[in-house]
Homo-oligomer: A and B are copies of this chain.
Amino acid sequence: MLFLHKHPMINQNIKIAVDAIVFGYHNGIVYVLAVQQKFGKLANHWVLPGGFIRDDEPLIQGVERELQEETGVTVSYLEQLKTFGDDVARDERFRVISVAYFALVNPKNFVLKADTDAKNAKWFAIKDVPKLGYEHNEMVQLAHARLKNKLTYQPIGFDLLDQEFLFSDLENLYCSILEQDIDRRNFRKKILSFGILEETGKVVKKGSSGRPGELFSFDKEKYDQLLKDNFQFEIKFA
Protein backbone atom coordinates (compact mmCIF):
# COMPACT_ATOMS: atom_id res chain seq x y z
CA MET A 1 0.00 0.00 0.00
CA LEU A 2 3.01 2.26 -0.26
CA PHE A 3 1.90 3.66 -3.59
CA LEU A 4 -1.02 5.37 -1.90
CA HIS A 5 1.20 7.34 0.38
CA LYS A 6 3.99 8.06 -2.00
CA HIS A 7 1.41 9.48 -4.39
CA PRO A 8 -1.43 10.91 -2.33
CA MET A 9 -3.26 11.94 -5.48
CA ILE A 10 -4.28 8.70 -7.02
CA ASN A 11 -5.15 9.21 -10.60
CA GLN A 12 -7.04 6.07 -11.31
CA ASN A 13 -9.72 6.10 -13.97
CA ILE A 14 -11.37 2.75 -13.40
CA LYS A 15 -15.01 1.94 -12.73
CA ILE A 16 -16.15 -1.16 -10.96
CA ALA A 17 -19.11 -3.27 -12.04
CA VAL A 18 -20.71 -6.54 -11.06
CA ASP A 19 -22.13 -9.15 -13.42
CA ALA A 20 -24.10 -12.29 -12.72
CA ILE A 21 -24.07 -15.66 -14.42
CA VAL A 22 -27.43 -17.05 -13.40
CA PHE A 23 -28.19 -20.70 -14.10
CA GLY A 24 -31.61 -22.24 -14.29
CA TYR A 25 -32.57 -25.84 -14.95
CA HIS A 26 -35.61 -27.28 -16.65
CA ASN A 27 -36.25 -30.70 -18.17
CA GLY A 28 -32.65 -31.74 -18.48
CA ILE A 29 -31.44 -28.44 -19.90
CA VAL A 30 -29.26 -25.82 -18.22
CA TYR A 31 -30.13 -22.21 -18.99
CA VAL A 32 -28.25 -18.94 -18.57
CA LEU A 33 -29.93 -15.58 -18.05
CA ALA A 34 -28.98 -12.72 -20.38
CA VAL A 35 -30.33 -9.24 -21.06
CA GLN A 36 -30.48 -7.22 -24.23
CA GLN A 37 -28.71 -3.92 -24.08
CA LYS A 38 -30.91 -0.99 -25.09
CA PHE A 39 -28.47 1.84 -25.65
CA GLY A 40 -24.82 2.53 -26.22
CA LYS A 41 -22.24 0.88 -28.37
CA LEU A 42 -23.61 -2.57 -27.66
CA ALA A 43 -27.29 -1.73 -28.23
CA ASN A 44 -29.28 -4.87 -29.11
CA HIS A 45 -26.40 -7.07 -28.07
CA TRP A 46 -26.95 -9.67 -25.38
CA VAL A 47 -24.95 -9.35 -22.20
CA LEU A 48 -25.05 -10.74 -18.68
CA PRO A 49 -27.19 -8.88 -16.19
CA GLY A 50 -25.10 -6.49 -14.13
CA GLY A 51 -23.97 -2.93 -13.80
CA PHE A 52 -21.92 -0.42 -11.89
CA ILE A 53 -21.69 -0.71 -8.15
CA ARG A 54 -22.79 2.15 -5.96
CA ASP A 55 -20.34 3.77 -3.58
CA ASP A 56 -22.05 2.62 -0.41
CA GLU A 57 -23.28 -0.78 -1.55
CA PRO A 58 -21.71 -4.17 -0.75
CA LEU A 59 -20.80 -6.02 -3.93
CA ILE A 60 -23.23 -8.89 -3.44
CA GLN A 61 -26.03 -6.45 -2.75
CA GLY A 62 -25.20 -4.69 -5.99
CA VAL A 63 -25.60 -7.93 -7.90
CA GLU A 64 -28.97 -8.59 -6.32
CA ARG A 65 -30.12 -5.07 -7.09
CA GLU A 66 -29.04 -5.21 -10.72
CA LEU A 67 -30.65 -8.61 -11.14
CA GLN A 68 -33.87 -7.26 -9.75
CA GLU A 69 -33.77 -4.12 -11.87
CA GLU A 70 -32.91 -5.81 -15.12
CA THR A 71 -34.61 -9.17 -14.91
CA GLY A 72 -36.85 -9.31 -11.83
CA VAL A 73 -35.17 -12.60 -10.96
CA THR A 74 -34.46 -13.62 -7.36
CA VAL A 75 -31.70 -16.18 -6.97
CA SER A 76 -31.49 -19.04 -4.50
CA TYR A 77 -27.69 -19.27 -4.48
CA LEU A 78 -25.12 -16.55 -5.05
CA GLU A 79 -21.37 -16.55 -4.67
CA GLN A 80 -18.46 -14.61 -6.05
CA LEU A 81 -16.83 -16.22 -9.07
CA LYS A 82 -13.93 -14.12 -10.30
CA THR A 83 -12.95 -10.57 -11.05
CA PHE A 84 -12.37 -9.69 -14.68
CA GLY A 85 -10.87 -6.53 -15.99
CA ASP A 86 -7.81 -7.00 -18.11
CA ASP A 87 -9.57 -5.77 -21.22
CA VAL A 88 -8.20 -2.29 -20.68
CA ALA A 89 -9.92 -0.84 -23.73
CA ARG A 90 -13.40 -2.25 -23.12
CA ASP A 91 -14.87 1.23 -22.75
CA GLU A 92 -13.35 4.32 -24.32
CA ARG A 93 -14.19 6.52 -21.32
CA PHE A 94 -12.62 4.41 -18.58
CA ARG A 95 -11.43 0.94 -17.78
CA VAL A 96 -14.06 -1.33 -16.28
CA ILE A 97 -13.27 -4.03 -13.76
CA SER A 98 -16.12 -6.42 -13.19
CA VAL A 99 -16.69 -8.81 -10.31
CA ALA A 100 -18.56 -11.81 -11.72
CA TYR A 101 -21.00 -13.70 -9.53
CA PHE A 102 -22.23 -17.26 -9.90
CA ALA A 103 -25.93 -17.75 -9.19
CA LEU A 104 -28.65 -20.38 -9.29
CA VAL A 105 -32.44 -20.05 -9.44
CA ASN A 106 -34.97 -22.64 -8.49
CA PRO A 107 -37.85 -23.51 -10.86
CA LYS A 108 -40.26 -21.24 -8.98
CA ASN A 109 -38.24 -18.23 -10.11
CA PHE A 110 -37.27 -19.61 -13.48
CA VAL A 111 -40.26 -18.18 -15.39
CA LEU A 112 -39.61 -14.54 -16.22
CA LYS A 113 -42.47 -12.35 -15.15
CA ALA A 114 -43.70 -10.16 -17.96
CA ASP A 115 -43.29 -6.91 -16.11
CA THR A 116 -41.33 -3.95 -17.39
CA ASP A 117 -38.08 -5.05 -15.78
CA ALA A 118 -37.93 -8.41 -17.48
CA LYS A 119 -38.86 -7.28 -21.00
CA ASN A 120 -35.28 -7.51 -22.20
CA ALA A 121 -34.29 -10.60 -20.24
CA LYS A 122 -34.15 -14.10 -21.69
CA TRP A 123 -33.05 -17.58 -20.75
CA PHE A 124 -30.61 -19.20 -23.20
CA ALA A 125 -29.92 -22.91 -23.17
CA ILE A 126 -26.25 -23.18 -22.25
CA LYS A 127 -25.57 -24.78 -25.63
CA ASP A 128 -27.17 -21.85 -27.45
CA VAL A 129 -25.71 -18.87 -25.62
CA PRO A 130 -25.00 -16.26 -28.32
CA LYS A 131 -21.93 -14.12 -28.57
CA LEU A 132 -22.18 -11.78 -25.62
CA GLY A 133 -20.61 -8.35 -25.14
CA TYR A 134 -17.45 -7.66 -23.12
CA GLU A 135 -15.77 -10.75 -21.61
CA HIS A 136 -19.13 -12.28 -20.81
CA ASN A 137 -18.76 -15.48 -22.79
CA GLU A 138 -15.58 -16.17 -20.88
CA MET A 139 -17.48 -15.60 -17.66
CA VAL A 140 -20.22 -18.02 -18.70
CA GLN A 141 -17.66 -20.67 -19.54
CA LEU A 142 -15.93 -20.31 -16.20
CA ALA A 143 -19.23 -20.34 -14.33
CA HIS A 144 -20.35 -23.42 -16.22
CA ALA A 145 -17.17 -25.20 -15.22
CA ARG A 146 -17.78 -24.15 -11.63
CA LEU A 147 -21.33 -25.48 -11.79
CA LYS A 148 -20.19 -28.88 -13.05
CA ASN A 149 -17.41 -29.08 -10.55
CA LYS A 150 -19.28 -27.80 -7.53
CA LEU A 151 -22.16 -30.16 -8.15
CA THR A 152 -19.83 -33.01 -7.21
CA TYR A 153 -18.68 -31.69 -3.86
CA GLN A 154 -21.42 -29.38 -2.62
CA PRO A 155 -25.18 -29.98 -2.51
CA ILE A 156 -26.05 -27.08 -4.82
CA GLY A 157 -28.17 -29.23 -7.12
CA PHE A 158 -31.10 -28.78 -4.79
CA ASP A 159 -31.08 -25.05 -5.50
CA LEU A 160 -32.02 -25.84 -9.09
CA LEU A 161 -34.89 -28.16 -8.17
CA ASP A 162 -38.29 -27.68 -6.61
CA GLN A 163 -38.36 -27.84 -2.86
CA GLU A 164 -39.87 -31.34 -3.16
CA PHE A 165 -38.55 -33.62 -5.87
CA LEU A 166 -38.42 -37.20 -7.05
CA PHE A 167 -35.18 -39.11 -6.97
CA SER A 168 -35.36 -39.32 -10.75
CA ASP A 169 -35.40 -35.50 -10.90
CA LEU A 170 -32.19 -35.30 -8.92
CA GLU A 171 -30.63 -38.04 -10.98
CA ASN A 172 -31.55 -36.37 -14.26
CA LEU A 173 -30.14 -33.09 -13.02
CA TYR A 174 -26.80 -34.73 -12.30
CA CYS A 175 -26.80 -36.65 -15.56
CA SER A 176 -27.52 -33.64 -17.72
CA ILE A 177 -25.26 -31.15 -15.98
CA LEU A 178 -22.32 -33.55 -15.76
CA GLU A 179 -23.09 -35.00 -19.19
CA GLN A 180 -22.55 -38.51 -17.90
CA ASP A 181 -24.48 -41.70 -17.46
CA ILE A 182 -25.14 -42.51 -13.85
CA ASP A 183 -26.24 -45.82 -12.42
CA ARG A 184 -29.61 -45.02 -10.91
CA ARG A 185 -29.27 -47.53 -8.07
CA ASN A 186 -25.76 -46.56 -7.00
CA PHE A 187 -26.63 -42.88 -7.20
CA ARG A 188 -29.63 -43.33 -4.94
CA LYS A 189 -27.67 -45.42 -2.48
CA LYS A 190 -24.90 -42.84 -2.30
CA ILE A 191 -27.13 -39.81 -1.85
CA LEU A 192 -29.28 -41.56 0.74
CA SER A 193 -26.18 -42.64 2.67
CA PHE A 194 -25.40 -38.96 3.33
CA GLY A 195 -28.58 -38.64 5.34
CA ILE A 196 -29.29 -35.15 4.05
CA LEU A 197 -32.64 -35.92 2.43
CA GLU A 198 -35.96 -35.76 4.18
CA GLU A 199 -38.75 -38.12 3.18
CA THR A 200 -41.92 -36.12 2.75
CA GLY A 201 -44.06 -39.23 2.77
CA LYS A 202 -45.90 -37.89 -0.27
CA VAL A 203 -46.09 -40.12 -3.28
CA VAL A 204 -46.59 -38.78 -6.76
CA LYS A 205 -46.56 -40.05 -10.32
CA LYS A 206 -44.54 -38.06 -12.75
CA GLY A 207 -45.13 -39.06 -16.36
CA SER A 208 -48.12 -40.79 -17.83
CA SER A 209 -47.08 -44.21 -16.67
CA GLY A 210 -44.85 -46.02 -14.24
CA ARG A 211 -44.80 -46.60 -10.53
CA PRO A 212 -45.35 -43.43 -8.48
CA GLY A 213 -42.28 -42.19 -6.64
CA GLU A 214 -41.68 -40.69 -3.26
CA LEU A 215 -41.05 -36.96 -2.89
CA PHE A 216 -37.90 -35.90 -1.05
CA SER A 217 -36.61 -32.57 0.14
CA PHE A 218 -33.13 -31.37 1.05
CA ASP A 219 -32.60 -31.14 4.79
CA LYS A 220 -30.32 -28.12 5.03
CA GLU A 221 -30.25 -28.12 8.82
CA LYS A 222 -29.08 -31.71 8.86
CA TYR A 223 -26.44 -30.89 6.26
CA ASP A 224 -25.13 -27.90 8.22
CA GLN A 225 -24.98 -30.06 11.31
CA LEU A 226 -23.05 -32.77 9.52
CA LEU A 227 -20.59 -30.18 8.19
CA LYS A 228 -19.53 -29.47 11.76
CA ASP A 229 -18.52 -33.12 12.12
CA ASN A 230 -16.26 -32.91 9.06
CA PHE A 231 -18.82 -34.42 6.74
CA GLN A 232 -17.86 -34.26 3.10
CA PHE A 233 -20.52 -34.31 0.37
CA GLU A 234 -19.11 -35.97 -2.71
CA ILE A 235 -20.49 -37.61 -5.83
CA LYS A 236 -18.13 -39.26 -8.25
CA PHE A 237 -18.64 -41.44 -11.28
CA ALA A 238 -16.62 -43.75 -13.43
In the complex formed, the residue of B with least CB distance to A6 is B39
Best-buried of A12, A50, A56, A85 by chain B (most CB within 10 Å): A12
Number of copies: 2
Q: Are A97 and B16 touching (Cβ within 8 A)?
A: yes
A12: chain B residues at CB < 8 Å are 15-16, 52-55
SS of A interface (majority) = mixed
A interface residues (Cβ-Cβ under 8 A, vs B):
1-6, 10, 12-17, 35, 37-40, 42, 47, 50-60, 66, 69-70, 80, 82-83, 85-86, 88, 95, 97, 99, 133
Residues of B within 8 A of A14 (CB): 15-16, 53, 55
Which B residues are in CB contact (< 8 Å) with A6?
39
The answer to whether B55 touches A5 (Cβ under 8 A) is no
Residue contact B80 to A40, C-beta cutoff 8 Å: no
Task: State whether B59 touches A1 (Cβ < 8 A).
Answer: no
